[in-house]
Amino acid sequence: MRDRVGGGEPGGAPRVMWMIHLALGAWLLATLGLYLRLEVGLAEGVLAAFLVFTLPVLSIAQLPLMSDSAMDRPGVYAGSAVTLAGLSMASLVVGALGPGLDALELGPIDAATLGSATLRLGAAAAALIALFHLIGRFASIPESPILARLLPRTPAERRMFAGLSVLAGFGEEVVFRGFLLAVLTPALGDVWTALVVSSLAFGVLHVYQGPFGIARTAALGGLLGASVIVDGSLWPAVIVHVLVDLVGGLVIGPRTLPPILDEVA
């Protein structure tokens, strides 16, 4: 998600501009490296470099501007939905023109295989999340206050959050476990190396959750990607991702995260 808050800490804007320049430079260098060194197609290289290098840096760049001022949650949800829709459409189009949609593992899957793979992945995801929860409790690692402030409060916000969860479940899987694995696997020579790279980028993209949240999200991304590799389909990962976001944001989060007083806009 993208966080939009008012204000920001002093000196935040220059640091944001510096990191934006860094992100653009990394994008150019990474694109050239993928295109020339790893022989990735130009369109695939541009998009893959943006997803692996530029987007995570831009996610980090917004942190200095965050403050304790009012958060426009509906605006955050709407902005995130637009970003996800754009990235997923770009991944589908570039993926179709490059490695092909079959390489994104979006083909049909029979009901029995889908059901068994989804149940297996869902159980593994639940165990992983529970493990991180226990580690956080025993190590006294606090959750990011930004994460708590992003949770929906009103019925309208819950409906928006539910829609965003569905879009994120599909879009992020298409982008990080579909497109990136399809492009990076032949470039890096190994699907598991490609999975590590895509999972790290996916984790840093959730920097608003703090270092512990980055590790948790990267591990979950690795688990979802492993399912795609083993089962040969993106659909179980899509379903489980949607359920994780829905349950986490609407059920578990409000009950486990420390209460944050509602901001007055």
What mean pLDDT is reported for the chain? 88
- In whole angstroms, how far apart are CA 171 and each of 18, 24, 56, 221? 29, 23, 16, 13
225 pLDDT more than 90: yes
Residue 154 main-chain phi, psi, to 5 deg: -105, 165
pLDDT reported for residue 202? 97
pLDDT reported for residue 34? 85
Using CA atoms, how far apart are residues 144 and 43, in angstroms rounded to an integer? 36
With a CB cutoff of 8 Å and minimum separation 6, the contacts of 241 are: 168, 169, 170, 172, 173, 224
pTM for the whole thing?
Answer: 0.88
- Band the pLDDT of 20: cuts 50, 70, 90: confident
146 pLDDT more than 90: no
Region of poorest pLDDT, from 94-98, 181-185, 256-260:
256-260
For 147, the enclosing helix (H) or strand (E) is helix 145-150
With a CB cutoff of 8 Å and minimum separation 6, the contacts of 17 are: none
Q: Which two tokens stand for residue 214?
A: 């980055």
Using CA atoms, how far apart are residues 166 and 218, in angstroms rounded to an integer? 19
- CB distance 162 to 180 below 8 Å: no
For the chain, percent of residues with pLDDT exceeding 70: 88
